Amino acid sequence: MDAQPMEPDLALAIHTSSPDLAMALAPFPWSGDAPVSVLCKATGKGLANVLHQELLRLLPASQWRRLAALAVATGPGGFTGTRLGVVLARTMAQNLQIPLLGCGSFVLMARRLAQRLLQEHPEGCAVQLEQPLRKRGWIRGRYRITAHGVVEERQAPQLLTTAIPLGEAAPWLRHPAVVEPAADAVELLRVLMERHALGDPGHWQGVLPLYPAAAAERPWETESTCR
Query: Mean per-residue pLDDT for 192-213?
Result: 92
Pairing of strands 10-15, 67-73: parallel
157-166 pLDDT, tens digit per residue, is 999 987 665 5
Tally: H helices and E strands in the chain:
4, 10
Do residues 157 and 210 touch, judged by C-beta distance below 8 A?
Answer: yes
pTM score, whole prediction: 0.89
Residues 6+ apart with CB under 8 A from 51: 16, 21, 43, 84, 85, 88
Count of C-beta atoms within a 10 Å radius of residue 186: 21
CA angle 120–121–127, rounded 5-degree value: 105
CATH number of 10-105+180-206: 3.30.420.40
112-155 pLDDT, tens digit per residue, is 999 899 999 999 999 999 999 887 789 999 999 999 999 999 99
Domain locations in the chain as residue ranges:
10-105+180-206, 109-177+214-226
Map residue 149 onto helix, strand or coil: coil
